[in-house]
Structure 1
Amino acid sequence: MRTACVIAGGGPAGAVLALMLARGGVEVTLLEKHGDFLRDFRGDTIHPSTLQLIDELGLAEEFHKLPHRKAYGVSVETDQGTVSLADLRRLPGKYRYIAFVPQWDFLNLIISEARRYPTFRLLMNAEAHGIVREGDRVRGLRYRTPGGEHEIRAELTIGADGRHSDVRRAALLRPREFGAPMDVAWFRLPRVPSDREDTFLRLAAGRPMVAINRGTYWQLALLFPKDGFEALKAQGIASLRRTVAELMPFLADRVAGLSGFDDISMLQVKLNRLRRWHRPGLLCIGDAAHAMSPVFGIGINLAIQDAVATANLLGPALLRGEPIPESLLARVQRRRAFSAAVVQFAQRVVQDRIIRPALAGSSRPIPIPPDVSRVPVLSDALARFVSVGVLPEHARFGNAAERP
């Protein structure tokens, strides 16, 4: 099998890149190792910069038909009260909120749009596990399906297969690890109409927790010390119920819904970045290039920005059938690496100065974030950093003008 571009990984970065290339007329094949996109507790915070991209792709109306919740601000709930960090309604532009959309709905929207183009091909249950080489150049992927082992040849190979990327490993690209003090236990509890409306961080000694309003239920994330999931399980489900009830008393009458640790999904937090994102014929983007901490909920948006920059910079050469020089792959890295580095630096500051002391419990005081809403300039700067980012991308190759 041959294609102009083969992409390993049907997450947000891979799907958006495949859509933009197909729209521009490039033959592209997307490999997804699962049989569907229905996996819970994945990144699904769509920030204003990504909402603007969706608009540029002509999909804003269809996107807003998906089940979603809008968050217009960022706040922290402490034992002393609520601290407002950013008011997104003060942002310039059309989109002044963060949209919480289940990732499978978002991916199904993108893939459904991509299927409209004859140059798009999707292979499900296709797990990329190796690369095809000709000399020092990568010429495609090896992948397995229920039917056996296969190979696909391509002028350009993209590794968008996440923080545990097999493509990255096969290309001998090793990330620099920055570490994280926590892992995350995700679970859900029912929500009733009388509950509060906002999404917030509950900051308390030893037990930070995030609560995301999903309309009919709360998506909850308990932060615990790194590699401490077995210790959390050893304390028993009753201990977890008590923790939730103490941190969020309005949920106390519902914690019995946690029947056991089978209801818990554990996320191992990684924070790393490749020094080099490419080999001749191959480029890594998204989490394969820079795994992000859940701080700010920004990972999915940086991954999509990578995809847009890749389409803009590489799409024209792929369309003309020209070889992709490694210097062009390096341009993608130069454009996107700065944004990833700045966000990761900010995440490390939050991890070290707020999350780490909070996880330490009473042994260290918890620094309470200042209420920057009282200083509009700071509030606006934080809102722009979280929701727009350092270098937002705009769709040029395969934009809405190419829709049939």
Structure 2
Amino acid sequence: MERTGCAVVGGGPAGMMLGLLLARAGVQVTVLEKHGDFLRDFRGDTVHASTVRLIDELGLGAGFRRLPQSRLNQVAFPIPGAGLVTVGDFSGLKPPYNYIAMMPQWDFLNFLASEAAREPSFTLLMQHEVTGLVFDGGRVTGVGYRTRGGGADADQGGGPNREGVLHADLVVATDGRHSVLRRAAGLQPKQYPVPFDTWWFKLPRPASEKGAVAGVVPAFGHREAMIALFRDDYYQMGYLAPKGSDARIRAEGIERFRERVARLRPDLADRLDAIRSVDDLHWLDVRLDRLKRWYVDGLLCIGDAAHAMSPAGGVGINLAIQDAVATAAKLAPLLLEGRVTTKDLARVERRRRMPTAVVQDVQRIMHRAIFVPLFAGKTPRPLPVMLLIVRHAPVVGRVLPRVIAFGPLPEHAPAFARRVPAP
């Protein structure tokens, strides 16, 4: 019979961080990831200062800083007649946590996986798609899974299917906003309205445009907006339009979409042939929700499985990682003893519910103040007022960057997971 102490379902940032932390405590932990690798485009790539500090506390700072990345030193918005207004200038924060790191998520996940693999109690099972929960007398006691032989990614075909069951003292769902496990457990989220969806695509970034990232500056148009994230050799572009627009955008065709991009970012009009067809547009159905309860006996949901976040603010990765740290800190000693109760799971939820609610409330305010009027074809009047307050109120200018960089209730690495970095 296959058995582990903790089965972590989903190899995203929360799952990989939780696996590393629990393994450092000596817990037998198995992470199940349905894909054959971490190479998936258009995932959240912002690593905030709270996570960079956590990496340092784990003794991994030197290796982390060697990963390909750029530094976001400030966040700015364009205001008609006022130019760029800086919302968050991180240079005033105490070094070395005075920036937000931007890196491809697959590099970050590979880094966590390689460090976790050093721990003898850690197991990573790629190409293992979890299909449901295993119950015993009303308690979750494991997960069912299927995998493919032949070493191919399950999404691309391969060998014959193999099905199995992994029993565990605790199952932690980190399988995202479309979580199979939270649905199997009957856990229901409260949905909040979101006025927009996002379409991600790539544009070339020639060598002549290399350089440090000064900021992420959105472009606003009539019922549309666009953001650009810099990568080593391309721009990751996000086009924002009213929710429910996907069918219309695709029906209008790629030439019409190129016109939209050129109107919002005329400086990038010379490379729009790189968007070959509407198949190059990756639609994100933006959701904002939060489970009414994050657990049942034997199962805990964290990260997007517990609370799907809007891309506004780029905080999803970091909130998920903070969930993982709190989970490991509170449950690792209990897992070593083989006893985790629903009261213990409730303590994790109580710890993380407040910061989650605060961040989601801020996102909802941003939706109402900026995106609802924007996508209704109106000028978002509160935006210039808010940004001018930031520009002329020194106290706000000092506090806001720290709030953005660290978030509410940032977690620290538990003592059992800390390591002194090698000289």
TM-score range (shorter-chain normalised) is: over 0.9
Amino acid aligned to 1:375: A
Q: 2:153 maps to which residue?
A: none
Aligned CA distance change for structure 1 residues 397 and 128 (closer, same or farther; 3 Å): farther
Structure 1 segment 1-400 matched on structure 2, within 5 A: 1-80=2-81, 81-146=83-148, 147-192=161-206, 193-194=208-209, 197=213, 198-319=215-336, 321-362=337-378, 367-368=383-384, 369-371=386-388, 372-400=390-418
CA contact (8 A) 2:5 2:338 kept: no
TM-superposed CA distance for 1:201, in Å, is 1.4
Question: In structure 2, how many angstroms separate the alpha carbons of the residues matched to 1:187 and 1:117?
Answer: 37
Deviation larger for 90-99 or 44-53: 90-99
Q: CA RMSD in A?
A: 1.8
Aligned CA distance change for structure 1 residues 268 and 311 (closer, same or farther; 3 Å): same
Question: In structure 2, how many angstroms separate the alpha carbons of the residues matched to 1:298 and 1:62?
Answer: 23
CA contact (8 A) 1:23 1:402 kept: no
Cα deviation, 1:135-191, whole Å, max 9, x if unaligned, reads 121111111112322101111110110000001011110100012111100011122
CA contact (8 A) 2:371 2:380 kept: no
Deviation larger for 285-294 or 135-144: 135-144
Aligned CA distance change for structure 1 residues 45 and 206 (closer, same or farther; 3 Å): same
Question: In structure 2, how many angstroms separate the alpha carbons of the residues matched to 1:186 and 1:173?
Answer: 30
Deviation larger for 196-205 or 23-32: 196-205
Aligned CA distance change for structure 1 residues 194 and 10 (closer, same or farther; 3 Å): closer
Unaligned ranges ≥5, structure 2: 149-160
* Structure 2 length-normalised TM: 0.91
Cα deviation, 1:309-366, whole Å, max 9, x if unaligned, reads 00000001112x2310111110100000100000000000101110111112258768
CA contact (8 A) 1:357 1:367 kept: no
Question: In structure 2, how many angstroms separate the alpha carbons of the residues matched to 1:177 and 1:323?
Answer: 33
TM-superposed CA distance for 1:210, in Å, is 0.8
Amino acid aligned to 1:129: T
Question: In structure 2, how many angstroms separate the alpha carbons of the residues matched to 1:72 and 1:277?
Answer: 35
Aligned CA distance change for structure 1 residues 364 and 296 (closer, same or farther; 3 Å): closer
Aligned CA distance change for structure 1 residues 62 and 364 (closer, same or farther; 3 Å): closer
Amino acid aligned to 2:394: P
For the residue of structure 1 that corresponds to 2:224, the secondary structure is: coil
Deviation larger for 340-349 or 91-100: 91-100
Aligned CA distance change for structure 1 residues 53 and 363 (closer, same or farther; 3 Å): closer
Question: In structure 2, how many angstroms separate the alpha carbons of the residues matched to 1:383 and 1:154?
Answer: 41
Cα deviation, 1:256-282, whole Å, max 9, x if unaligned, reads 221111211111101000111011111
Identity of aligned residues (%): 47
Question: In structure 2, how many angstroms separate the alpha carbons of the residues matched to 1:195 and 1:82?
Answer: 21
Question: In structure 1, how many angstroms separate the alpha carbons of the residues matched to 2:67 and 2:400?
Answer: 28
CA contact (8 A) 1:87 1:373 kept: no
TM-superposed CA distance for 1:79, in Å, is 4.8
Question: In structure 1, how many angstroms separate the alpha carbons of the residues matched to 2:93 and 2:27?
Answer: 36
Question: In structure 1, how many angstroms separate the alpha carbons of the residues matched to 2:30 and 2:296?
Answer: 19
Unaligned ranges ≥5, structure 1: none
Aligned residues: 403
Question: In structure 2, how many angstroms separate the alpha carbons of the residues matched to 1:363 and 1:313?
Answer: 47
Amino acid aligned to 1:101: M
Amino acid aligned to 2:266: P
CA contact (8 A) 1:78 1:202 kept: no
Deviation larger for 127-136 or 15-24: 127-136
For the residue of structure 2 that corresponds to 1:233, the secondary structure is: helix
Question: In structure 1, how many angstroms separate the alpha carbons of the residues matched to 2:321 and 2:15?
Answer: 8
